[in-house]
């Protein structure tokens, strides 16, 4: 969500005071990230500390609990949500949810790079997450991969509207989106059809296997969500998409993905040194790359022409959408 949600600074500060018992001097809207369902803020506290705040339109309590569980079981690189004074991990407000995190003075690895030691640590953290056994009730409460991507219905809806290309001639962003679609329509349909075909095959495999070894996956563990703090240590953020899935769900961001740092074979070797022995299912990996491209296309297409969105928000979404079709972008990877 690139625009600020309809909550005043005073409302947010009051939630922090009542929920976390922390006095607030100032609330600042940050607008970080590419999550269309969340907005980000910083709270400067009267103690001199800071909190990182997310205001979410949608929230899965099991995902918050899983993140807290992983942190509390000694995966210290995880930036986990803080509990309120009543022990909750979020505060509901007017159909939205406020979640507070420790504020980390750090920069994305995608911007500052990783040393050899940090590549190994990156692999170690992901490997430890994948190797964690969650309590049965928490594991059952998390989403489980079913290879039934809901974004395909969204793609069909958007594709039909863009094919018609009518009804919004007074909307410049809509006109730009239609123009982009006319250039990239064939590739996007090919990616969507590849996603359907792979999903069908993998769902059949899943049904036949009976007991597929799913692991806890971050779901979005690219190097924009891996931070390097002032002391050089790794901190992994944005655990909103935790899912029980094959490990390829996370490893897609290391193997072929154009998102974040470009990895050499040497750097992948360092990652694997930390992660441990690695066997990858090529069909699952191909599925996750294709499905991710469809998901991003749908999300940013909707954001680029959302009614009520600011011109800045629409422009940012349209710029990201165009980047999907760069020569080394997500579309190319999805079809490789």
- Percent of the chain clearing pLDDT 90 (strictly above): 77
Whole-angstrom Cα distance, residue 199 to residue 290? 10
pLDDT in the model for residue 33: 65
Q: Quick one: tokens of 70? A: 């992983």
pLDDT in the model for residue 35: 65
pLDDT in the model for residue 90: 96
Beta strands across the sheet bearing 226-229: 106-108, 226-229, 234-236
User: What's the number of CA atoms in the CB half-sphere (13 Å) around residue 259?
Assistant: 25
Burial label for 47, CB within 10 Å (0-12, 13-18, 19+), is exposed
As annotated, the residues of the chain forming the CATH 1.10.510.10 domain(s) are 105-336
pLDDT category at 296 given cuts 50, 70, 90 is very high
pLDDT in the model for residue 34: 62
Section 114-134 average pLDDT: 96
- Domain 1-60+79-103 belongs to what architecture? 2-Layer Sandwich (3.30)
pLDDT 10s digits, 33-88: 666 678 899 999 999 999 999 999 889 999 999 999 999 998 999 999 999 999 99
Section 85-109 average pLDDT: 94
As annotated, the residues of the chain forming the CATH 3.30.200.20 domain(s) are 1-60+79-103
Average pLDDT, the chain: 92
Pinpoint the alpha helices (H) of 73-171: 109-112, 116-130, 136-141, 151-164
Among candidate residues 299, 291, 295, 335, the one with its CA nearest the CA of residue 203:
291
Higher pLDDT, 197 or 307: 197
pLDDT in the model for residue 300: 92
* Cβ neighbours around 81 below 10 Å, total: 22
Higher pLDDT, 73 or 4: 73
CA angle (186 as vertex; 180, 189 as ends), nearest 5:
100
Angle at which helices 172-209 and 151-164 pack, to 10 degrees? 150
CATH C-level class of 105-336: mainly alpha
pLDDT 10s digits, 136-176: 999 999 999 999 999 999 999 999 999 988 656 668 888 89
pLDDT in the model for residue 313: 85
pLDDT 10s digits, 222-250: 999 999 998 899 999 999 999 999 999 99
Whole-angstrom Cα distance, residue 331 to residue 290? 8
Sort strands 38-45 and 106-108 into parallel, antiparallel or unpaired.
unpaired
Q: Quick one: tokens of 64? A: 């918050």
Report the SS3 class of residue 288: helix
Whether residue 274 has pLDDT greater than 70: yes
Among candidate residues 147, 162, 153, 145, the one with its CA nearest the CA of residue 294:
153
* Cβ neighbours around 279 below 10 Å, total: 5
Whole-angstrom Cα distance, residue 186 to residue 196? 15
pLDDT category at 281 given cuts 50, 70, 90 is very high
- What does the DSSP assignment read for 195-232? HHHHHHHHHHHHHHHSS---EEE-S--STTSEEEETTS
Whether residue 316 has pLDDT greater than 60: yes
pLDDT in the model for residue 31: 75
Section 255-273 average pLDDT: 91
Q: Which residue has the tokens 């190994």?
A: 120
Report the SS3 class of residue 13: helix
Whether residue 124 has pLDDT greater than 80: yes
């Amino acid at each position: 969500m690139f625009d600020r949600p309809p909550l005043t600074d005073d409302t947010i500060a009051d939630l922090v005071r009542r929920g976390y018992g922390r006095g607030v001097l100032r609330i600042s809207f940050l607008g970080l990230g590419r999550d269309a369902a969340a907005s980000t803020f910083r709270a400067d506290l009267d103690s001199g500390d800071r909190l990182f705040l997310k205001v979410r339109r949608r929230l899965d309590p099991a995902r918050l609990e899983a993140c807290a569980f992983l942190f509390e079981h000694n995966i210290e690189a995880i930036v986990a949500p803080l509990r309120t004074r009543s022990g909750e991990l979020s505060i509901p407000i007017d159909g939205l949810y406020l979640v507070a995190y420790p504020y980390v003075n750090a920069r994305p690895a995608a911007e500052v790079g990783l040393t050899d030691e940090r590549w190994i640590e990156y692999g170690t953290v992901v490997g430890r997450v994948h190797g964690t056994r969650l309590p049965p009730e928490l594991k059952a409460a998390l989403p489980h991969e079913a290879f039934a991507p809901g974004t395909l219905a969204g793609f069909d809806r958007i594709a039909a509207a863009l094919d018609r290309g009518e009804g919004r001639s007074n909307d410049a962003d809509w006109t730009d989106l239609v123009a982009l679609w006319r250039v990239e329509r064939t590739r996007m349909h090919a990616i969507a059809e590849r996603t359907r075909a792979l999903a069908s095959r993998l769902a059949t495999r899943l049904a036949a296997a009976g007991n597929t070894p799913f692991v806890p996956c971050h779901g979005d563990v690219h190097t924009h969500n891996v931070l390097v703090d002032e002391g050089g240590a790794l901190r992994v953020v944005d655990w909103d998409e935790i899912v029980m899935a094959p490990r390829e769900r996370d490893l897609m961001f290391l193997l072929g993905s154009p998102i974040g740092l470009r990895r050499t074979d040497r750097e992948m070797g360092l990652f694997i040194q930390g992660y441990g022995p690695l066997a990858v299912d090529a069909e699952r990996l191909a599925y996750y790359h294709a499905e991710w491209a469809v998901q991003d296309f749908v999300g940013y297409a909707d954001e680029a022409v959302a009614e009520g969105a600011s011109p800045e928000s629409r422009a940012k979404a349209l710029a990201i959408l165009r980047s999907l079709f760069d020569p080394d972008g997500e579309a190319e990877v999805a079809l490789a």
